[in-house]
Each structure stands twice: as C-alpha cells, then as structure tokens.
A and B are shown apart, each in its own frame.
Chain A
Amino acid sequence: MQVTRRQFFKICAAGVSGSSLAVLGFSPTDALAEVRTFKLARTTETRNTCPYCSVGCGILIYSLGDKSKNAPAEIIHIEGDPDHPVNRGTLCPKGAGLLDFVQSPSRLKHPEYRAPGAKEWKRISWDEAFTRIAKLMKDDRDKNFIAKNDKGDTVNRWVSTGMLAASASSNETGYLTHKIARSLGMLAFDNQARV
C-alpha cells in the first residue's frame, strides 16, 4: 500500500485527535462495581417496642447522626431487634413498615377533642386533655363508686369506667398502669390490642 506524505499527515492527525479525546475524558469509563453504601454505618441505634399488637416485638430504630447538639435526629430505618426474646429480629408486615407509620402525614401527634354533637375535631393542649379526663373520671367515680355490696362486704368497685392501656408497654410501665387502674377500683381494664 502506497501512503503519500499528505496521507501520512492525515493518519497522524486522526490518531492525535482520537487519543486527545480519550485524555480529555471522552474515553469509555471503567466498569466500576461497588455495592450501595451501607446506610446504617454511623446512625444511632435505639431499642424500642413495636406499637401495634400485644406480641410486643422488639425493634431497632436507626436515626441519622450521633445525637450531637446541632444535629437533630431523624428516623431513617426500623427493623427487628435480634436480641429481643419475643421476635428475635423478625417483624410482621405491619412492623416491617413502621418507618412509614412514624412518618405518616396523617399521624396523630397531639390531643384532639370533639364535643358531643360536633363534627369537627379541635386541637387542645395536653394540660386541657389531662384536666378534662381527670375531672370526668372523678365525677363519675364519686357518683358510681361501690364501697360495699348488698351483703355489706367491702368491695371498693368502680364499674362505670374502663381503661384501655397500650400494648407496647414495658413490664415496669404495665405494672404502674395496673396499679393506677386497680387502686381506683376499676375493673374493666383491657389492652388496645388483645387479639
């Protein structure tokens, strides 16, 4: 094959421009392969109990940051607690989806009051809520408390009000809740998820 001087220059020019393009970053990229970064690496792990049913599975809540003063925590992930004797790391579909429960836009975050006959719920303060509950309880207990039965035995019953407690309580919270309800003479005492 005969290559003239002019043709030789053309070949050189093509070679130089091609290699320059490669150096400028237009070369095919390396086939990098790396797994997604482990998202819990330096998050804060907090133990808690699933709020749903009475099984009371242990959960681990992972939040951003290390709890330092200027970094407010934000929950980014929840999974089962492998050290919890109840579930040993497992969670049902509801428990596995707790993150969206925590961050749900319709989550109730403060007490609300709907007056008899009213259609609207009205936001009230915790103080108002507690005061109202205590007042109504006291009124009802004063009116309906049964100290002695027909035979004259002391019974100290209060059967016109019941209490529904949370299922996700610890043993200690459950003990205190029980003490409060029973010391008032309350008999109707149940759990929100006794299923």
Chain B
Amino acid sequence: MALQSLDIKARSATTTPSPAVRGEAIKVAKLIDISKCIGCKACQVACMEWNDLRDEVGTNAGTYDNPRDLTDQSWTVMRFAEVEVQAGKLEWLIRKDGCMHCADPGCLKACPAPGAIVQYTNGIVDFHEENCIGCGYCITGCPFNIPRISKKDGKAYKCTLCSDRVAVGMEPACVKTCPTGAILFGSKDDMIHHAEGRITDLKERGYQNAGLYDPSGVGGTHVMYVLQHADQPGLYNNLPKDPHISPMVSLWKGVTKPLASFALGLAVFAGFFHYVTSGPNEVKDEEHTS
C-alpha cells in the first residue's frame, strides 16, 4: 500500500508519536518542467474545479499573472517573468507557484494547533482546517511564502497536492490536465530520473546551467522544478536559492517552547501550592484602620 495517505509521518504541535511500524511508503513528487510550460493556466483552472474554489475576478496589473498572488481560493498561480539572461535574448520564464511540500516543512514546525498540519509518509504536507486556529504562524514558518489566511473563516489554506486524489491512486488535478506535459506526478525517484533526462536535453540545447530544483535546506521538496537556469532560481519570480526555515521558528519551537512551557507549569504549580498552603495575603481590618 504504497500511497496510503493516512500513514502519518508528523503532526503539528503533537507529542504523541506517529505510527511507525508499517514500511516506508513510496515518496510521491510533482515535477514541474518550466522549459515545457506555455503558461496556459489549465492547472489553475483544474485546481479550482477539483477543490471547489472560485476566486474573485481580479484586475489586470500589466502582466499575465492572474490572480496576482496566491489566495485562499487560488492555491496555485502562474508567475510570469521576462528576463534577459544573455543580452538581446529575451526569455519568458513561467513558474507555477504553490506549495512545495517540503520534506522538512516549516509550516508544520511553526504550527501551534494540534493536528492542523500533517505530513503523510508519502511526502504530502496537508492542512486540516478544522483544527486550524488561524494564527498565521505557518506563513512565518514557510520559506516559500505559500499559505494564505482566508478572510471568510480566518483559517489557512494551501495546495494539498490533491491528497484526496492521491489517496485513491490518482494524480493531482493540475498534473492530469497539463496539455504540454510540463507537470508530471509519480514516485520521487522516477521524477528525479525523468528530470535528469530533461536536464541533459536542455544542456544540449544550450542551457548550460539547467538543473533540478530540490532544495536540501528544507530536506528536499515533493514539488520539484526543472529550471533552465538552476544557478539563478531568483530569475523565476524570486524562487529562493537556498530556502531555510526561519531561525526564529527553530529557536522558538526548539529551545524556547519547552523551557517556557516548563517555567509556565512551574509558576502555576508553585502558585497553586502557595495558595493552598499559605493562602491569600489578606489585609486584616485592624492593620487597615490603624
């Protein structure tokens, strides 16, 4: 049962260990080959259709980006960049932005609500909005600035990698619809293998710096890009070159949280026993009047 999405690897703010006896599930991955993308946005439409989302009709901001940014209703957005890597050679780089499904998810680490963010053994990082308290820490924790808080219900939303489809053995909606085959879905090993072939091809075509974007700073990702210019991911609408979870998150959740929890517990405990043994410090009438 390779793709059992209910095999939980990690849950936010939960100390109960996750079940670990069953064998490792096959890690799934989505591969986005930017060199094949024509920016048709079928993936955006398929995503909205499958997930029952309908964003508001926006306004034109001078680019093809529509909507302009990710929202609670738009979990994936095509970001268009016109760049001249070599002088006189204009390139139109179109990046499908959305959750990268990090192996070391900053959102999950930062989340204080038990079970609001879970990571399945197949690699998908999923939000469970019924447990979400809308604090927005997942946004702080995310190195890619992906989650968005809804104005409607105050909860955080993002791409689920169609965990409901993957759970029954299907591919995500965006992958299925892609007319050029720029988006692929399969085991992470297969996706890396496929990417290698594409990178060899791109290098033969003059893209010397073509490469796979699978940043190790977040433990690798389950959404990977084939980039024509892997040495400059910033060209693709500021894709971070070496993404890391903010040190504040590790500091807060790593050291500060247990210490602070202990101090808080100690204070409550001490206060309670002080109250029980010594009682409140009551001012006696004769002292008050004198």
Bound pair (A, B): yes
A35, A90, A91: which contacts B164 (Cβ < 8 A)? A35
Interface flag for A168 (CB, 8 Å): no
Which chain B positions have C-beta within 8 A of A138? none
A93 to B177, CA, bound (A): 8
B144 to chain A, nearest CB (A): 22
Interface flag for B165 (CB, 8 Å): yes
Per-residue contact bits, chain A 27-55, to B (CB 8 Å; 1 contact, 0 not): 01111111111110000000000000000
Residues 168-182 of B contacting A (Cβ, < 8 Å): 168, 173, 176-179, 181
A77 to B173, CA, bound (A): 11
- Whether the pair A36, B160 counts as a contact (CB closer than 8 A) is yes
Interface flag for A80 (CB, 8 Å): yes
- Whether the pair A35, B176 counts as a contact (CB closer than 8 A) is no
Stretch at the interface among B6-14, B239-247, B255-263: B6-14
A7, A10, A37, A77: which contacts B50 (Cβ < 8 A)? A77
- Whether the pair A99, B49 counts as a contact (CB closer than 8 A) is yes
Which chain A positions have C-beta within 8 A of B6? 33-35
- Whether the pair B115, A79 counts as a contact (CB closer than 8 A) is no
A100 to B276, CA, bound (A): 66
- Whether the pair B173, A1 counts as a contact (CB closer than 8 A) is no
Which chain A positions have C-beta within 8 A of B114? 28-29, 31
A129 to chain B, nearest CB (A): 33
Which chain A positions have C-beta within 8 A of B168? 38
Which chain B positions have C-beta within 8 A of A91? 42, 46, 177, 179
User: A99 — nearest CB in chain B belongs to which residue?
Assistant: B49
A6 to chain B, nearest CB (A): 9
User: B181 — nearest CB in chain A belongs to which residue?
Assistant: A90
* Most chain B beta-carbon neighbours within 10 Å: one of A2, A29, A33, A38: A33
- Whether the pair B276, A31 counts as a contact (CB closer than 8 A) is no
Which chain B positions have C-beta within 8 A of A1? 273, 277
- Whether the pair B179, A35 counts as a contact (CB closer than 8 A) is no
A3 to B279, CA, bound (A): 12
Residues 1-31 of B contacting A (Cβ, < 8 Å): 5-6, 8, 11-14, 16
A50 to B38, CA, bound (A): 21
Interface flag for A11 (CB, 8 Å): yes
A80 to B276, CA, bound (A): 70
Per-residue contact bits, chain A 63-103, to B (CB 8 Å; 1 contact, 0 not): 00000000000000111101000010111110111011000
Residues 21-77 of B contacting A (Cβ, < 8 Å): 40-42, 44-46, 48-50, 54
- Whether the pair B277, A79 counts as a contact (CB closer than 8 A) is no
B42, B115, B173: which contacts A33 (Cβ < 8 A)? B115
Which chain A positions have C-beta within 8 A of B54? 100
Residues 132-167 of B contacting A (Cβ, < 8 Å): 160, 163-165, 167
Interface flag for B212 (CB, 8 Å): no
B45 to chain A, nearest CB (A): 4
Which chain A positions have C-beta within 8 A of B177? 79-80, 89-92, 95-96
- Whether the pair B115, A93 counts as a contact (CB closer than 8 A) is no
- Whether the pair A39, B164 counts as a contact (CB closer than 8 A) is yes
B14, B40, B49, B167: which contacts A78 (Cβ < 8 A)? B49
User: What are 16 of the A-B contact pairs (CB < 8 Å)?
Assistant: A1-B273, A11-B276, A29-B114, A31-B16, A33-B6, A34-B6, A35-B6, A36-B164, A37-B164, A78-B49, A79-B176, A93-B40, A96-B46, A97-B49, A99-B49, A100-B49
10 other A-B residue contacts (CB within 8 Å) besides A36-B160, A79-B49, A92-B40 = A1-B277, A31-B13, A31-B118, A33-B6, A33-B11, A33-B126, A34-B128, A36-B164, A93-B40, A100-B54
